[in-house]
Structure formats: structure tokens, C-alpha cells
Amino acid sequence: MKRLTRLGDIALVGGSLACVMSFGFLVWRHGLALHYLNLLGVAVGLAVGLRLSASHRINLALCLLSTIIALYSAEVLLAYSSSVLNHPSATVWLDFPQDANARVAAERVNREKQANKKFDTRSRLEVVHEFRAHGIMVYPDVFPTVLFAPGPGTSIRSIFTSDRGEVLPLSGPANTTTVFCNESGEYLVYESDEHGFHNPRGIWQKGSADIVALGDSYAHGVCVSSEHSFVGVIRSQYPATINLGINGDGPLAMLATLKEYGLSLKPKVVLWFYYEGNDLRDLDTREKNSPLLMNYLKPSFSQGLLEHQSEIDQMLKSYLETAMASVTSQASFESIMKIQHLRQAVYDLYSRRPSQQGLSAELIDHFTLMGSPATSDDLMLFQRTLAEAQRSVSPWGGKVVVVYLPTWERYRIPELASQDRDRILTMAKELGMPVLDLHPAVSAHPDPLSLFPFRRYAHYNEEGHKLVGEEVVKQLRQLQLVEEANKRMGVSQHSYGVGRSSKFQGF
């Protein structure tokens, strides 16, 4: 009995000291936070426990030890789980931007794996590591959205600087095998062009283009092979088409990309692919807070990215190596001490809400937010952005054509689709820009939801890309913008080789 009492006292004293030391460590590391005081409260409680009777001290010590063992066993198990879906910091690399969190991603992947036994459930990082294990140096896709960090006040700034000041790359590394994404069960892997865009290599050699495509992930080609993307379909009819679409781009990033790369090509037509699902939200929640991106509204502003490709490549590859290492590294001592993985798992469990109309509550919240009307200030900013794009290409008679891309929810839950549709279409027309509205063509399809992978909320599948590409080509021919420009200039359409892209399920 005396030995058990002594062991109990040691456990209580040790627990009290551990709480005090943890409090000191956290304050030293992060500064004082009110919730850290809970540790001092526990320390005092354990110290007071030493005044209890011997049997009560033993019982208290046993409860303390069993609780600690149970909590930290679960924490270690979660922290070192082999499944990337259980790793909170890995969600940024899952490549499914529609997923609200790791739990939603895991549920969706498991559901699709059951329906399609060949569905590749690997994370993008796992695909990268497998390529590298076979001696193929590849990199995951990277895009401007992830390169921002908080700046003064509400502003955001690029994480990169040089002797020229702040630097924001607007594309990926050049001439690089890029592991892009997987929505239909197979990963898209492509070779980036001379400036890090999703084009056939060598397409910049001519130094000009009939058509330049701007846009976000849809224009970039998520997640279909290069030749089957809607830009690829357009290129099959207009060979001198260069794709400057980049995953995550909003209106200001699109304008910046046009000015940095597109103007050197003097395109006859700029296809501005407007995605109704988030373009205005990108402008509101992120881009207008970047002083650098806002500078592109000034006629003469440029970062000079076209002349600094090697520097950009070095920046991006260094960033990607560091980011991948941080995701795949072992859990930190501090995170385990705070039982962060266990707390996240409990939060995910209890934050689960009933589904609505067969969809997760998180997805309904997302639709509600994205579809809500934009403010008048944001609409005016978007109008300025479009006007500056048109002003930039007007010196050689270029024309900006707005292509309106509809969302999945417009055909599944139309009441939650963008409420800014009419205002955007009217705005473009008032600026004198031709508008190619894809909604009528998609809605006329016998089954619009079949144009998306597994009929779920995602980007267009190959059939959807084909429909969009063919409709754009048809309407462009009706407008005769490229043909008339070629006649004026006395030139014919250029021809380029077909770029290499693949879908991979593994080695």
C-alpha cells in the first residue's frame, strides 16, 4: 500500500510539473494565450490532490495515467498514420478543390473507389514520389493562389522577393513534367511549355498567336488530357492557340497573365473564360487585397516575368521541394504534445451535419457563399479589369471575347447558382465585347450533369470539355474574328505540333 501511495504521489507531482513546464514552453514559443492557463489550473489541481487520502491519491493517479496513455496512444496513431487523408496538412495537396476538408475528401474517394475499382486513390504527393522513385523528376502543379502570405493590414503579398522587389510567378516551372490532378480516376500528367503553361512545347517559337486563352482551372485543363481539354479542342481548329489559363486564377491574375505573357504574342482574339462559380469571389476575398495585382490596372505596370524564366523556375522548384518535405515530414513534438491530430479528428466527427438534397452541408454552404450577389464595388473592379484587358490588346486590333462557363450547381441546384449572371453578361456587352454564353448549349444537352465526373460537383469531364470547345469554335466562326484579322494582315493560320500529356494510374 505504501509503495502504491508513493507511486501515486510521484505521478501527481510529475503531472503537475509537466503541466507547468508545458505552459512555460508554449508561452516561450508563442507568447501568452488565455487557454494556456488551463495547464496551470490542471497543475494546481494535481498538487491539491496530494492532500487527499492515500486511496484517493492512488485512484487519481491511476485515472491520470490511464487517460494520458489513451489520449497519446490515439494521438500517435493518428499522427503517424500512413493515410495521407488523415494528415491535416496534406489536404492542400489532395488536388480536389471542391472538397471542404480531409473527411469530405476521404468519403468521396472511398465512394468512388467502390464504384470504380480502378479509381486511383493516391494523393498527388504519392504520385510524385513514385515517379521520382523511377528516376523521373516531376513536380506537382503550383499556382499563384498558394504563393500569397499576409501583409500589412488586410493586404497580401507574394512569398517571393528579388532585387526588383516583390515577385509573383503567374505560371508553373517551365519545361517540367507536371503532376496535375485526378477527378475521373486517373492522374493527368503533362509537360509544361517554355513558360510553365499547359501547351505543346515549342508553341512560343513563332512569337505570335491567333488566340490566347485566359482563365482558371477550367481553362488550365483540369483534369483531362491536353488534347481533350476545351482549349485543346479549340487548338485543333485554330492551331495558333496558346493557353495561359492557370489553376486558381481570378480576374486580376488573368489580366496580369495577359500583360506579362499574352501581349508579346499580339493575339487577334483573347478568350476570357469567366467561370461563374468563383471568379468574383476570387476578386473579393483575395486578389483585390494584393497591391501587386491591383497594379496591373495601370497601363504601364509589369513584373517583367517573360525575361526572368530561369529565376522563376528556381523559386518555384525550391518552394515545392520545401512544401512537399513539410507535408511528408514526421509530426512535430509540439503538435503531438497538443494532441492536435486527435482534436482535429474529434472536431471532424462532431462537426458533421446532416446532408441537404443529397449533398454535404459544407458543399451547400459553399454554393450559398459563391452564388451570393457581388458588391457593387467588386462588380466595378471587375469592369475595370475587363476594360484594361481590352485597352491592352486594342493597339493591334485585338479583341477580348468573354466566354461564360456555367457551374455544376446551375443544373443540380439552380437556386444556388450565381446570382450575378445577368449583370456579368450585360457588363461585357456594354464594354463592346463579344460574349459566348455556354449555358444555353449545356442546358440543351440531354443530361447536363453527365458532363461532370460521376455526375458530382467537379470540373467538366472530357465530354463536357468537348461540348465547350466545339461550341466556342462554332461561335468564333460565326463571329469571323480570327479569319477577318488574318485577311487584314495577309497571313494564314500557323500550325504546331501536338503536346504530350498522359493519364497515369501507376507504374
Residue 257 grid coordinates: 497573365
Contact between 305 and 261 under an 8 Å Cβ cutoff? The reply is yes
**Beta pairing, strands 399-405 & 269-275:** parallel
> What is the predicted pLDDT for the residue at 84?
39
**Does the reported pTM lie above 0.85?**
no
Q: How many helices (H) and strands (E) does the chain have?
A: 20, 13
Give exposure, 86-117, as e/b (b: 16+ Cβ within 10 Å).
Answer: bbbebbebbbbbbbebbbbbbebbeebeeeee
List the domain boundaries for the chain.
2-79, 138-504
Contact between 452 and 183 under an 8 Å Cβ cutoff? The reply is no
Contact between 267 and 398 under an 8 Å Cβ cutoff? The reply is yes
Phi, psi at residue 141, to the nearest 5°? -60, 140
Residue 374 grid coordinates: 457581388
> What is the predicted pLDDT for the residue at 418?
96
The rounded distance, in Å, linking the Cα atoms of 127 and 120 is 10
Residue 350 grid coordinates: 462532431
Mean pLDDT by 10 residues, the chain (507 residues): 82 88 87 86 88 86 87 80 42 43 60 71 85 95 92 94 94 95 87 96 94 97 91 96 96 98 97 96 95 97 95 96 76 77 74 74 88 96 98 96 97 96 97 97 98 91 97 95 75 48 57
Contact between 403 and 274 under an 8 Å Cβ cutoff? The reply is yes
> What is the predicted pLDDT for the residue at 39?
87
For 280-319, how does the pLDDT look when each residue is reduced to its tens digit (9 = 90+)?
A: 999 999 999 999 999 999 999 999 999 999 999 999 999 9
Torsion sign across C-alpha atoms 201, 196, 135, 120: negative
- Reduced DSSP (H G I as helix, E B as strand, rest coil) percent helix, strand, coil of the chain, to 5: 55, 10, 35
> What is the predicted pLDDT for the residue at 347?
74
The rounded distance, in Å, linking the Cα atoms of 11 and 58 is 9
- On whether the 138-504 domain is CATH 3.40.50.1110, my answer is yes
